[in-house]
Structure 1
Amino acid sequence: MQRLIVNARLVNEGREFEGDLRIRDGRIEAIGSGLSAREGETVTDAAGAWLLPGMIDDQVHFREPGLTAKGDIASESAAAVAGGLTSFMDMPNTRPPTLDAQALADKYAMAAGRAWGNYGFYLGASNDNLDAVRTLDPKTAPGIKVFMGASTGNMLVDDPEVLDGIFREAPTPIITHCEDTPTIDALQAEYVARYGEDIPPECHPDIRSREACLKSTELAIALARRHGTRLHVLHISTADELRLFEAGPIEGKRITAETCVHFLHFARPDYARLGHQIKCNPAIKDEADREALIRAVAEDVIDVLATDHAPHTWDEKQNPYTRAPSGLPLVQYALVSALEHVHAGRFDVARVVHKFAHAPALLFDVAERGFLREGYWADLVLVRQDDPFTVRREDVLSKCGWSPFEGTTFRSRVAATFVNGELAWDGSGLVGAPRGQRLTFAR
C-alpha cells in the first residue's frame, strides 16, 4: 500500500511545520515538502489539518479475558482508533489476572487479528508471584504493574518484603497505582456509618482521599530510590503529589509521573451532574488540583498523558455508591479532550503530542513508533483543528455504550487514523479490518 498525505501541518518533536508524508509498506518512507504523487499512489489532501503520530495509551483496561460484558479487545481498540489512539498497553487485572508468562502469552493470542490498534500487555504483581516478576522476559511486556492500593482478587501488593523484592528485581519499568488501602477503608467505614450504602457521589474524593494518594506515592518513590528502579507512577490526581516529582525532559528521569485526561477535564463540582459516571480510582478531586495538573503538564512535571480507560455497563453505574464500580470509558475522546487545553492556550499541540506519543514510546522503549520519522511505522492521526462536534451516545463505540463526555462540544475532530500505514478510521466510521500488531520493545 502506498499513500501520499499532502498539505498537512505536521507536529513532531517540538516542531509544527507544513509538509507532506509518504507511506509505503506500512512505514513512513518520506517526510518533506512538495512531494509528487507516484503512479498508483493514493493521495490524501490534509488541507492544513494537523498530522500527528498516533497516540500511545500506556494505561487501559480493555476487560479481556473474563469481563467482556463491559468491553473487549476488539470493541475498545475500535473506540481507541476512532479517537486517534493507535497503540495501547493493557492492564493485568482481568479474570484470570495476568500474573505469569503463560497468562501474558494467552492475552497476546487473544489480540492477534482482533485489535484495531497495536498492543502490549503488562505483567501484574501480587503477593505471591515474585518468581514470575523476576524471570519476566523484558521484551514481552511494557512493564510490571503493581497495585499499591485497592484492587480486585489477589493483585493488591501489601506485603512489605514482597514490595521490596519487586522493586529490587523487576527487569522492566514498574508502574504503580498508588493509594493507601487502610486509609481508604477507614474513611469508607466512616461514610457508610453516616449514609449507609447510598453515599453521595461527591464524597468519593474524600473517601479515596489525597492523603491516601500521597502516602502510597511517597512509599513507591522511596522504594524506587532505594533500589534505583525505573518507576512510573500512574494517574496522579492531586496537587500534593506533584511536589514529589521533578520538572524536566523524560530522557533524564528514573522516576516519572502520568496523569489522565479526565483529571484535566472534570473536578468535584461535576459529581452533582454526572454522579457515578465519573467515579474512578483515584478519584477526581478539586478544581485546584485540576489547575495544578494542567500546569504540571505544561511545565514537564507530568511526563505522560493517558486515559485509564475502564468501561463499566450503564446499569452497573446506576448502583448505590458502595456497589457502583469505579472507572470511565475514555479512549474515543481522549485526544480531542486534551486538545481543548491547546485551544484554551494552556499548552501547545506539540506538548500534547509529546505527552501522548513521544514520552510513552521513550519510557517503555517502544520500537519504531510514537514519532513522525522516516522508517518508523506509519501510525498517524489527522486532526481538523477547528471542526466542532458534540459527543452523542449513539456515536460511542465502546461496548458499554456511554461516555462521561456526552453533550460536550469539542473544537477539534479526528478526521482519519492510520495504523501500520492502513486507514482504520475515516472520520465517520471504521475502515477495513483490524490491523494492529504486537508492540515490540527495544531492550
Structure 2
Amino acid sequence: MADWLIRNARLVNEGREFEGDLRVRGERIEEIGMGLSARPGEQVLDAHGRWLMPGMIDDQVHFREPGLTHKGDQATESAAAVAGGITSFMDMPNTRPPTLDSAALEEKYAHAAGRCRGNYGFYLGASNDNLAAIRALDPKAAPGIKVFMGASTGNMLVDDPDTLDAIFRDAPVPIITHCEDTPMIEAAQAAAQARFGDEVPVSMHPDIRSREACLKSTRLAVSLAKKHGARLHVLHISTADELALFEAGPLLDENGRLRKRITAETCIHFLRFCREDYAARGNFIKCNPAIKDAGDRDALIAALAGDVIDVLATDHAPHTLEEKRQPYLSAPSGLPLVQEALVAALELVHEKKLRAAQVVQKFAHAPAQLFDVAERGFLREGFFADLVLVDPFTGYTVEREKVLSKCGWSPFEGTRFSSRIAATFVNGELAWDGQRLIGEPQGRRLAIAR
C-alpha cells in the first residue's frame, strides 16, 4: 500500500471549497493543510487545481447479484461505480432469491468479500410474510429495510395494510421505500392497452406510472412514519407534487444530531431527462418511477438546492441490450448510471443550478449521516481515504465502447459532459487513474455505527 500526498487541490467538503493539500497514510486521511511537504516514499499527485471530494456514497443500486448476473454483478458494477467516483454503495434486496432474512443478508456479504472495488452495504427486504426477520434484524447488519410500496418482483410487494403498519411500528433501522400505487398503475396500463393493444408507445410510461400513483403511495408512507415516529427515507422522488410532503432545511441540528425523521431523495436521471426525451431514447430511459415532465425536473433541482430533497442517488439498474430492445410492454425498467452519475450531477454546477459543495452534501455527506456509515463520506483527518479527484476543466462524450457495466450501454451515450473523473481512491488505494482500473478490489463491508 502506497502513501500519497495530493497537492494543489481545490477541496470540496462540508459546505466549503478551499485550496489545500491532503495526505493519505495507509488506508486513512492523515493530514489536510496547506503547503504540505512530501515525505520519503510518498507518491505525490499534483491536482493542478482540480476538485478533490470525498468519494460518493450511492445508497440505491441494483447490482443484480444473486440470480440476475447476466445483467450485472458485484464485481462488474462496482468497477463501473469506482470509475464514476462512487466509492461506496448500498445494494437492494430484490434479487433471486430476495434478501429477506439475516441468513440471506450475511450470505450476500460473504459473496461480495474480495470482489467489490467499492465499499458495500446490503439492505434487508420486506415482504408480506417476513415481519419476524425484520424485528430480529441486528441494526448494525444493514443500512436499512427496503419496502416496495409499489410493483416489484417476486414476493417483495408489501401491500397488506397490517403488515405495513407493523413494519413502520417495529423496524429497528431506517425504512426506505419505493412509493407507487400498484392498482392505479394497473388500471392505467389496462386503459393504454385498450387504446393501443400490444403497441403501447414508451411515451405513455409517465402516464401509466403516473404522478398520481407516486403521490398516493408517498402520502401513505409519510402518514405511517408520522403515526409511529419511524425513520423513513423515500427513494427516487420523481414529481413536483410529492415535494410538499417533505420539510425543508438541514439534516442535522446545531448539536450534530439528525433533525429530520422523514427524508427524501431523487436520482440523477430525473435531473437530466424529461418526457420529451422518450422520443429519442425510448426504453433506454424507461425506469420506475417514470421520468416525467420538464417542470418536475426543474422542481427537483430546486428542491435539492433548497434542502427539501436530502440525497441524490442513482437507482443503478442494468438490463441487457436485448431486454431493452423489446417492445415497451415487455422491456424491463431500469438504467445503468453509476459510471456517469457524478459528472452528470456536476453538470448542474456548470449550469449554475447547484454548487459543487451541494452535490457533495447530497451524494456523500447525507448518505453517511442518514445511514450511520462510520468514518466515510467526508474529507476528515482520521477518516478512510475514499476520495475522488474531478477534472472540471476537461470534458468528454459518453461512448458505448467505454461502458464498464456488464450490460454494455448507457442512457447518456452521445452526451457531452464538462467534467471527468481524474482519479478515485478506495481505502487509500488508487482504484481508477482516469483511464483504467488499477490494482485489485479494495472494497470492504460498510461499518454501521448504531
Q: TM-score, normalised by structure 2?
A: 0.98
Aligned partners of 1:359, 1:305: CA distance in 2, in Å?
9
Structure 1 residue 195 displacement after superposition: 1.2
Structure 1 residue 388 displacement after superposition: 1.0
Corresponding position: 1:359 with 2:360:
no
The 5 A counterparts of 1:20-419 are: 20-251=21-252, 252-419=259-426
Structure 1 residue 198 displacement after superposition: 2.1
The residue type paired with residue 168 of structure 1 is R
Aligned partners of 1:388, 1:421: CA distance in 2, in Å?
26
Task: Report the 3-state secondary structure (helix = DSSP H, G, I; strand = E; otherwise coil) of the residue aligned with 2:5.
Answer: strand
Query: Following TM superposition, where does structure 1 have runs of at least 4 consecutive aligned residues deviating by more than 4 angstroms?
Result: none
The residue type paired with residue 326 of structure 1 is S
Aligned partners of 1:91, 1:347: CA distance in 2, in Å?
28
Task: Report the 3-state secondary structure (helix = DSSP H, G, I; strand = E; otherwise coil) of the residue aligned with 1:323.
Answer: coil
Aligned partners of 2:76, 2:331: CA distance in 1, in Å?
22
Aligned partners of 1:196, 1:151: CA distance in 2, in Å?
24
Structure 1 residue 321 displacement after superposition: 1.3
Aligned partners of 2:182, 2:146: CA distance in 1, in Å?
17
Give me the identity figure in percent.
75
Aligned partners of 2:417, 2:110: CA distance in 1, in Å?
36
Task: Report the 3-state secondary structure (helix = DSSP H, G, I; strand = E; otherwise coil) of the residue aligned with 2:233.
Answer: strand
State the Cα RMSD in Å. Answer: 0.5
The residue type paired with residue 327 of structure 2 is P
Aligned partners of 1:365, 1:31: CA distance in 2, in Å?
24
Task: Report the 3-state secondary structure (helix = DSSP H, G, I; strand = E; otherwise coil) of the residue aligned with 1:441.
Answer: coil
Aligned partners of 1:155, 1:392: CA distance in 2, in Å?
35
Aligned partners of 1:196, 1:330: CA distance in 2, in Å?
32
Structure 1 residue 322 displacement after superposition: 1.3
Structure 1 residue 25 displacement after superposition: 1.4
Structure 1 residue 41 displacement after superposition: 0.6
Structure 1 residue 68 displacement after superposition: 0.2
Aligned partners of 2:155, 2:242: CA distance in 1, in Å?
27
Structure 1 residue 185 displacement after superposition: 0.4
The residue type paired with residue 208 of structure 1 is R
Structure 1 residue 196 displacement after superposition: 1.7
Task: Report the 3-state secondary structure (helix = DSSP H, G, I; strand = E; otherwise coil) of the residue aligned with 1:291.
Answer: helix
Aligned partners of 1:401, 1:304: CA distance in 2, in Å?
27
Task: Report the 3-state secondary structure (helix = DSSP H, G, I; strand = E; otherwise coil) of the residue aligned with 1:31.
Answer: strand
Task: Report the 3-state secondary structure (helix = DSSP H, G, I; strand = E; otherwise coil) of the residue aligned with 2:108.
Answer: helix
Structure 1 residue 365 displacement after superposition: 0.3
After superposition, give the CA deviation of every residue in 1:22-75 in whole Å (9 maximum; x if it has no partner).
Answer: 001100000000100000111111110000000000000000000000000000
The residue type paired with residue 31 of structure 1 is I
After superposition, give the CA deviation of every residue in 1:67-122 in whole Å (9 maximum; x if it has no partner).
Answer: 00000000000000000000000000000000000100011011100000000000
Structure 1 residue 391 displacement after superposition: 0.3
After superposition, give the CA deviation of every residue in 1:160-200 in whole Å (9 maximum; x if it has no partner).
Answer: 00000000000000000000000000100111111122211
The residue type paired with residue 368 of structure 2 is A
Provide the aligned length of Structure 1 versus Structure 2: 443
The residue type paired with residue 401 of structure 2 is E
Equivalent residue number for residue 256 of structure 2: none
Aligned partners of 2:282, 2:354: CA distance in 1, in Å?
29
The residue type paired with residue 356 of structure 2 is V
The residue type paired with residue 312 of structure 2 is L
Aligned partners of 1:316, 1:195: CA distance in 2, in Å?
21
Equivalent residue number for residue 16 of structure 1: 17
The residue type paired with residue 298 of structure 2 is E
The residue type paired with residue 81 of structure 1 is V
Aligned partners of 1:105, 1:439: CA distance in 2, in Å?
13
Task: Report the 3-state secondary structure (helix = DSSP H, G, I; strand = E; otherwise coil) of the residue aligned with 1:322.
Answer: coil
Task: Report the 3-state secondary structure (helix = DSSP H, G, I; strand = E; otherwise coil) of the residue aligned with 1:297.
Answer: helix
Aligned partners of 1:172, 1:206: CA distance in 2, in Å?
34
Task: Report the 3-state secondary structure (helix = DSSP H, G, I; strand = E; otherwise coil) of the residue aligned with 2:339.
Answer: helix
After superposition, give the CA deviation of every residue in 1:278-313 in whole Å (9 maximum; x if it has no partner).
Answer: 000000000000000010010000100000000000
Aligned partners of 2:200, 2:42: CA distance in 1, in Å?
60
The 5 A counterparts of 1:419-430 are: 419-430=426-437
Where does structure 2 lack aligned partners over 5 or more consecutive residues? 253-258
Task: Report the 3-state secondary structure (helix = DSSP H, G, I; strand = E; otherwise coil) of the residue aligned with 1:358.
Answer: helix
Task: Report the 3-state secondary structure (helix = DSSP H, G, I; strand = E; otherwise coil) of the residue aligned with 1:165.
Answer: helix
Structure 1 residue 411 displacement after superposition: 0.1
The residue type paired with residue 288 of structure 2 is N
Aligned partners of 1:182, 1:230: CA distance in 2, in Å?
26
Aligned partners of 2:88, 2:236: CA distance in 1, in Å?
18
Q: TM-score, normalised by structure 1?
A: 1.00
Structure 1 residue 216 displacement after superposition: 0.1
